[in-house]
Amino acid sequence: MKYKKWIKLSEDEQNRRCQSLIVYDDWDLFKTVEQEFISQYGDQEGVGKVFCGLVGTLGPCNGIAVYIKSGKKRTKIPKQFLGFPVIKVYGKVTYR
């Protein structure tokens, strides 16, 4: 699905469709949502790496993983963004 079409969907429809997206088929949508999230929330001191794709919770799901830097000010991010659940990840992040 294209980003322009995605943002025209209602919030409820985005929430409903999010988990049926296929990362490999909709990679451009995932990366655009990731960039939009970074542009709106990435300037906070505590926000580290941001990844939109398959994220781990109790099992893999489509979402946005936000790595929170330790020892920084409280970070305010939404629980959902454009229909994608936002998962906060605490602890040491290794960059490859």
Q: Does 50 map to a domain?
A: yes
- φ, ψ for residue 54, nearest 5 deg: -80, 120
Q: Does 30 map to a domain?
A: yes
pTM for the full predicted model? 0.89
Q: Which residues of 47-84 are buried (b: 16+ CB within 10 A; e: fewer)?
A: bbebbbbebeeeeeebbbbbbbbeeeeeeebeeebbbb
Q: Does 95 map to a domain?
A: no
- For 6-64, write each residue's pLDDT tens digit: 999 999 999 999 999 999 999 999 999 999 999 999 999 999 999 999 998 777 899 99
Q: Please tell me the predicted confidence (pLDDT) of residue 75.
A: 87
Q: Does 53 map to a domain?
A: yes
Q: Does 96 map to a domain?
A: no
Q: Please tell me the predicted confidence (pLDDT) of residue 19.
A: 95
Q: Which domain holds residue 73?
A: 3-90
Q: Does 66 map to a domain?
A: yes
Domain count, the chain: 1
